[in-house]
Structure 1
C-alpha cells in the first residue's frame, strides 16, 4: 500500500499556540495529574479498558459540545471531536492515546501504585492524562482557537493483538471524521528530560514473533550417537539467527533479532526429542521480508546439518512506524528552540553534551528539540501511517544528572515517569496539534481518503 503524503507545504511562519489556549492548558494540569493517578492506581489490560475509557469520558463530559456524544471505537475505545463537525467536510487533526496497561506487577513504591497483576509501566497513563488536559483546555478556550478540528482517540489494545490501532483505522466511525493528520506521543527513557524528538522516516521498528520447533531423535545421554540432538541443533540455530543482522542485513540499515525463550527436555540425562524457542524479528529500515527469509534459511539448514528437522512459524505483529516527512518538518518548526543535536557535545545517538535541561527551548513547550532519535521498539501506531499522514513524537523522561538507558526502562516493573511529565507531554501535543491543523488549512487540496 502506498503511503499517503500530505498536500500541504510547511507554513512560512510556524504557528504558535494562542496565549489563552496555553493558559487554559496550564490550568488543567493539576486535574490531569489526578486523573493520571486514578488510571495508574487501577489499570486495565488490553481488551478490558472499558472502565478506563469511562473514567476518561467522565473527565471530559463538561467540555464535549452540546448535542455531540463521544463515538465508540474498537470495542473499548472512544473518540471525542472538538471543532467543526465532520459533516461539514472539515478535515481534523487526530491524536491517539493508549488506554491499556501491561500484565506486570509494579514495584515503583508510589503512593498511587497499582497493587494487582497489571501496571502502567509504559507511560500510557501519562499519555491519556496529557491528551485529556489538551481536550479540556481546548473545550474551555473554544475550538476556534485551533486552525482545524481535533479528534481525540482513546485507543484500546496497543500492547496486545488484535491491534487496537488497526481496528480504529478501519472503523467507519473513524473514517467518517475525515482525519487529515494523525499524531501520537510516547514518553521515552532513552532521551533526557526536557527533550522532544521529532523526525521524519522510520522511528520504530516492525515487530514479528517467531516460533522455532526442532524435531530430532531422543535417547540416552550416554549414547548421543544414537540420537539426533534437538537441543544442540536449536542451540546452533539460536547462535546462527543472531548473526543474520551482521551478515545478511545492510550495515547501514537497522534491524535486530532476539530469542527470548527456549524450552527443551525433562531430565539431565535424557536427550529430548524436541526443542523449541521463541523470539522477535524487528526491522527499522532493514528489509523485513528479507530478514524473515534469512531466519527460515538458518532454521531449516542448521536443523538438517544436525540430522533434525525444524519448523518456523512467523506471527506477524506491527509494521514499522514511519513518520511523514512533511508533517515532521511542520511540527518540528512549531516546537522551535535550539535543536539538541546542534548543541555542544551532542552526537547522533543523542548522548553527551548538556542534555537534560531546557535552555534554548522555544515556546510554548519549554522543550529542546531533538531530530535524531529512533529505536527498534514497536508500536501499533504504525497502522495509522498506512492510511494517512502520521507522526509519532517522543518526550524524554531521564532526569538531569542521569544517563539515558541506565534507569528502569519501558515495561520495567519500576518504570514510572514523574507527574510533571503530564504537562511536558501535553504542551508538546498542543503545539503539534496547532501546527498540523495550520498545515491542513494551508492547502486547498482535499485530504487523502484514509481508505485509499
Structure 2
C-alpha cells in the first residue's frame, strides 16, 4: 500500500469522527478495507464498535499486539482542510485518524511480507471515554488471541516528523474525571438570607480544591486538579439552587490519586456542612497509568536508533491520560510519541498533523515487529 493510498485513508477517516462506542461508520470503513485484502492469513472479528484483526504468522510461537484507538472528540473543527469533519461538532482532534491509518499500513505490510509470528491489531473504541481498552482486552476474543507483547503510539504535535520519543517506566499519568453536584435552596436575589446559594458554595469549593496538591501531595511527586467547567443557576435575579463542577485529576502515582480523592471527599463534606447543602461526587472514567516495560522499551529505542535513520529521544513522563495503561498493566508492552509537527496541540480545533509521519510510523513498527519475530 503506497503513501498516497494511506494519506487518502487518513483523510477519509478524518471526515467521519465519532465518539466512544458510537464509531459505527468508522468500524464499517475499516471492515471494508480489511475485507478487500487477501484473506488467506487474515482473520477479522468485531467487538462492540471495535475490531480485532489477526495476521497469522508462518510458524507462530508468539503473538505481537498493536493497538490503535478509533474514536474522535466533541470538538467543532477549525482547520483549513478541504476534508474537514462531516459530523458537526465532532473532530479527530487527538490524531486517532492517523493512529488507525498507521495500523492499516503496518497490517498491509505483514499481509504482503509474512513473518513467523502472528500480529494482532486491536482497533479500539472509546479511548477518549468512557474507556475501551480494559473491556476489549478482557473480552473473549482477546483471551483466545492473547498477545504476548503489545505496543501503541500517540502523535506528538510538538515533535518534528521523524522523531520518536518514549521512556522506560512511567510515561503517562493516572487520570480520573471529576464531577461534583451541589444542591442547596434557591430563591429571590433580593432575599439571600432565605436561601443557600450554590454559586457561592461552588466558588468556595473550587478555591479549596486548589489547596489539595500544594498541601497534601509530596513535592517530589506530581499531581494536578483542574476544574474546567462550572454551571449553576438559571437567570441573573434568582439565587442558584444547583451548581455543578466538572474537572480532571492527574497524578504520577496510584498512592497520590488515592490521597487526592480522600482530600476531595473531605473538603466536599465540609462544603455540605458549611453551606447547608447536599453534594454528590462522581469520578467518571478513570485511567491507569501507562507504565512501559523497561526491557522492551529500552530494546525498542536501541533498535530504532541503530537500524533506522529516525531520531529517538528519551522524554519525560507526561500528565496526559491514556487507557492503553490498562493493556500494559496486563501484557508487557510500551507506548511512544510520534512527532507530527503541528502548530496546534492535542484536543485543539486547529490540530493539523503532518501526514509524512504516517510513513515514518509504518516503517518503524514494521521493522521492529519483524525484528521481534526473529527472537525465540
Taking structure 1 as the reference length, the TM-score comes to: 0.76
| Counterpart selection for 1:412 from 324, 348, 351 | 348
Q: 1:284 aligns with which of 252, 257, 265?
A: 252
Q: Aligned pair count?
A: 374
Please point out which of 206, 225, 235 is paired with 1:238.
206
- Runs of 4 or more, structure 1, over 6 Å off, are none
In structure 1, the residue matched to 2:319 is 376
Q: Alpha carbon RMSD of aligned pairs, Å?
A: 2.4
Q: Deviations over 1:138-185 (max 9, x none)?
A: 2212224xxx32111112222222x22122201121221231111111
Q: Which residue of 1 aligns with 2:8?
A: 34
Q: Deviations over 1:241-271 (max 9, x none)?
A: 1221121111222221111121222233333
The counterpart of 2:264, out of the listed 295, 300, 303, is 295
Q: Pick the aligned partner of 2:148 from 155, 180, 197.
A: 180
2:51 to 62, 72, 78: 78
Alignment check: 8 A CA contact 2:76 2:349 kept: yes
Q: Show the counterpart of 2:358.
A: 422
Cα distance 1:37–1:213, how it changes in 2: closer, same or farther (>3 A)?
Answer: closer
After superposition, residues 27-426 of structure 1 pair within 5 angstroms as 28-61=2-35, 63-66=37-40, 68-72=42-46, 74-84=47-57, 90-117=61-88, 118-144=90-116, 148-161=117-130, 163-285=131-253, 287-336=256-305, 362-364=306-308, 366-398=309-341, 407-426=343-362
Q: Taking structure 1 as reference, are residues 49 and 305 closer, same or farther at Cα in structure 2, changes over 3 Å only?
A: closer
Q: CA deviation at 1:108?
A: 1.0
Task: Choose between structure 1 and 2 for higher RCO, CA contacts under 8 A separated by at least 6 residues.
Answer: 1
Q: 1-side partners of 2:32 and 2:277: how far apart?
A: 59
Change over 3 Å in CA distance of 1:89–1:31 after alignment to 2: closer
- TM-score under structure 2 length normalisation: 0.90
Can you give the 5+ residue segments of structure 1 that lack an aligned partner in the other structure?
Answer: 1-26, 337-361, 400-406, 443-452
Gaps of 5+ in 2: none
- Contact 1:210 1:314 (8 Å CA) reproduced: yes
C-alpha separation in 2, matches of 1:175 and 1:58? 25
